[in-house]
Chain A
Amino acid sequence: MADNVKVPIIKLAKRESMDPKLIWAIRVGSIIFAFIIGMIPLLMAGANPFTSYGIIISGSLSKKLYIQQTVKRAIPLLGCALAIAPCFKMKFWNIGAEGQITMGAIFASAIAIWSGTAIPRPILILLMLIAGVIGGAIWGFIPGFFKAKFNTNETLFTLMMNYIAIGIVRYLQGGPWEGRPGTQIIPMFAKNARLPNLFGIYIGWVIVLIMVVLVHIYMNFTKQGYEVAVIGDSLNTARYAGMNVGWIMMRTMLISGGIAGCVGWMLVSGANGTLNSDVAGGVGFTSITVAWLSQLNCFAMILIASILAIIGKGSGTLQTRLNVPSSVAEIISGVLLFCMLGCEFFINYRMSINFKQMGTNIKYFFSFQWIHKSAKKEAK
């Protein structure tokens, strides 16, 4: 009888409420925990973890040039996180920001290449912006349309759209837009298609900061933002409230794609000055981490995008100085994501461990009775 009735060792119960201070303590604790775990791969790579963390910080923030490069990394991350925030709020898993950035970049580049030096700089840049937004919006709208009309799986759809967009750039690079034949490179844009600099960094950083405020307002204070939030919580409630769910989905994807397209425009017109197939360079995926870690809070995204940019930039320095592979940085980012998402579990649930039962189980294990028991079972 006693053998048959088992008591669970770990019990989980949903928490009713929690002190906000404790919530933040758990979150901060999880970040510290992540950096402690992050020491393992550093140790395995043969580096002193403390020196390594020091190098990551100094390599990204100690000189003006380093800071500029770090900010340059953070701009598309932040912009793209803003782009996917409304989708994720709606629980529409848009992992196609990569493609939407690329498409925006293609459209913007088309204007720059076709116009040459014919159009004055401000007008040309504005035209490129509009083209970029349209390009990204189209690429976002297509999966949104199919989801709304035919309930296709948006995750797969948006993922596949990425490869199409990148494929198009490869074609343009080697074909119609190729510079010197055989180079597979699109030449740098003329000066009047390039974004101006402010404090040594292209002006995109000002634009994304403005976008932070705009997206924040959109998500929290507009009717459309409200619709998106309701759909994200419950489709049935949205229908109950008389919302046109299909149209809202398509519209949100138009907006999301448009913002991503804008990021694509900044990358070709500001950061790179030309178009290549690696224009998005994984930003569309890394920004998912940014959006998730900041819990879709636009201002928190600034911080998270900065942290990831610092780790990314600093790890490059780490590689040159200590010969530690820069992919270690990606491992650390991954651990960070894991810990920060994992800590939400402890915020939502209370875990109680039945130590008495655990003791009984351990005793039972070391008494080796279970061997006899399983042997008996086999015999049966």
Chain B
Amino acid sequence: MQNNCAIELKDIRKTFGSVVANDGVNLQINKGEILCLLGENGSGKTTLMNMLSGIYQPDSGVILKDGVPISIRSPKDSFAYGIGMIHQHYHLVDVFTAAQNIVLGLDEKLDLAKVNDKVKEICDKYGFDVDPKMKIYDMSVSQKQTIEIVKTLYRGAEILILDEPTAVLTPQETDKLFAVLRNMKDDGKAIILITHKLAEVLDVSDKVAILRKGKYIGTVNTKESTAQSLTDMMVGHAVTLNIDRPLCENKKERLRLENVTVFDNEGVKKLDGVSFDMKTGEILGVAGVAGSGQKELLEAITGLYPIKEGSIKFIDDAGTEKELVGKTPRQIREIGVGMGFVPEDRLGMGLVGSMGMTNNMMLRSWKKGKSIFVNRKSPEELAKNVWKELDVVTPSTAFPVRRMSGGNIQKVLVGREIAASPPVLLTAYAVRGLDINTSYAIYNLLTEQKMNGAAVMYVGEELDVLLELCDRILVLCGGKVSGVVDARRITKEEIGFMMTTVGGKNGR
């Protein structure tokens, strides 16, 4: 058994500042085996794999290859130990051919004819379908992925790590990929697969390792597990948080989405016929594994993401319906639709990092008035208010927000967005990276907005919070609505199941 082990991780721990990303992780990958790494967002899967591929180094713990401790200090070391990682985003040169990309960065004499032969050999061996002379820009997403895999094999990788490889593939392409993975497994390669899709886990893997909040939960044999048992391990037992959740009377429909479908730049469907509604006096939670279309959903509603088809209607107090599809954020504001939006990427989208609080408050009001000069007076007042009310820790209102701590940055952003009491408030991962007290402060602010009659959307990653904070929960799975459920009457396991399988139990 021991000599069959390709790589072993022992008691790995990695922290970023005060955040523990991995703790006590033990993992053993055997040759000729496919291991799935399963876990919710932020459970530390990517961090762990980055330590294998030399991007991070563990704070403590050992990595053993063939029983010998090794230190992987760079991606180059990682290659030298026969570890190849295929990232979600491909690193290919568009104007080069497949073969040129494959040998790129290698320290060997360039003989393209030889390379072509070797690539063909690899392809025949495992059943890839690749033309080495094809240029990357002529390739589909799945072909590009194939090139990435061939690239690592060409470098003699014995251990392959694939980070959510099926996220960008069609079902047929997925089947093809799995067939190839099985061939590689039969050839004695060790394969680590990161995925959220339970059906795929059960289909392709031999073993499943589960992480939860950075902690290693355990490894089970796929044969002995079911979707239900895996979900239970992944989400854990419900924790009582005691978030105050008053019930609001007189709910009215405020926003209605019908059949909203969007595609990204590469033509991949990100939202697929999404329909639901948001009501006043209600917090609608959005659950789903990362990349299920949460970001696109919020940006589509706020006019930042192009919508292929479908309609988004805003219904005001008088009952008049206003169509939002096809409008820019400015046009949406101009027709009198007030929308607060706390985006996921705080500094990349919601705030200007190099500016202070005052100038950031201005981001919502800068256009007001006919004067060519900006009005800094009211933003300054607002900044001072937010500073005081939300206990933002900053030396002054001019101090660049980039240099504040994550929690304080979030307070500035949320403070600004709720200042105008918008009828619709959209938040994405509003408490990510925040400590407990700040998180509760944010929950209270959102609940306050809800009681004031706003329709609030809370995109979250912690199911415990979603279950206690929200009134209803919309579950997304691969860009589709898996269901909208009453947050007071559902269990964590049921949601976990809906996140990984469209429709949940009823859908199977």
Interface residue ranges, A against B (CB under 8 Å): 1, 4-6, 16-17, 221-227, 229-230, 233-234, 236-237, 239-244
Contact = CB atoms under 8 A, between A and B. Distances in A.
Nearest to B375: A223
B85 to A, nearest CB: 21
Nearest to A244: B330
B343 A240 contact: yes
Interface size range of chain B in the complex:
20 to 34
A4, A224, A225, A229 pick with most chain B CB within 10 angstroms: A4
A6 B71 contact: yes
B329 A239 contact: yes
Given A4-B70, A237-B351, A237-B352, A224 B372 contact: yes
Given A229-B352, A237-B350, A240-B350, A1 B69 contact: yes
A336 B69 CA distance: 48
A229 B356 CA distance: 12
A4 B329 CA distance: 55
A84 B363 CA distance: 24
Contact of B364 (A236, A239, A241): A241
B372 A234 contact: no
Interface string B66-97: 00011101000000000000000000000000
Contacts of B363: 230, 237, 240-241
Contacts, number: 76
B362 to A, nearest CB: 7
B348 A237 contact: yes
B352 A222 contact: no
B366 A223 contact: yes
Given A221-B374, A222-B374, A233 B353 contact: yes
B366 to A, nearest CB: 5
B383 to A, nearest CB: 15
20 contacts: A4-B70, A5-B71, A221-B374, A222-B373, A222-B374, A226-B362, A226-B366, A227-B366, A233-B353, A234-B347, A236-B304, A236-B349, A237-B348, A237-B349, A239-B329, A240-B304, A241-B363, A242-B328, A242-B333, A243-B330
Contacts of A227: 366
A239 B366 CA distance: 13
Contacts of A221: 373-374
Nearest to A8: B73
Contacts of B328: 242, 244
Nearest to B341: A240
Contacts of A233: 352-355
A221 B69 CA distance: 60
B345 interface: yes
B505 interface: no
Given A226-B359, A244-B330, A234 B373 contact: no
Contacts of B395: 17
Nearest to B405: A16
Nearest to A218: B372
Nearest to A15: B403
A224, A225, A230 pick with most chain B CB within 10 angstroms: A230
B69 A223 contact: no
A347 to B, nearest CB: 12
A227 B373 CA distance: 12
A239 B374 contact: no
Contacts of A5: 71
B459 to A, nearest CB: 16
A261 to B, nearest CB: 22
A239 B304 contact: yes
Contacts of A1: 69
B372 A223 contact: yes
Contacts of B70: 4
B404 to A, nearest CB: 10
Contact of A236 (B330, B345, B371): B345
Nearest to A5: B71
B355 A229 contact: yes
A240 B403 CA distance: 21
Contacts of A241: 329, 363-364, 366
Contact of A17 (B350, B359, B403): B403
A234 B73 CA distance: 33
A236 to B, nearest CB: 4
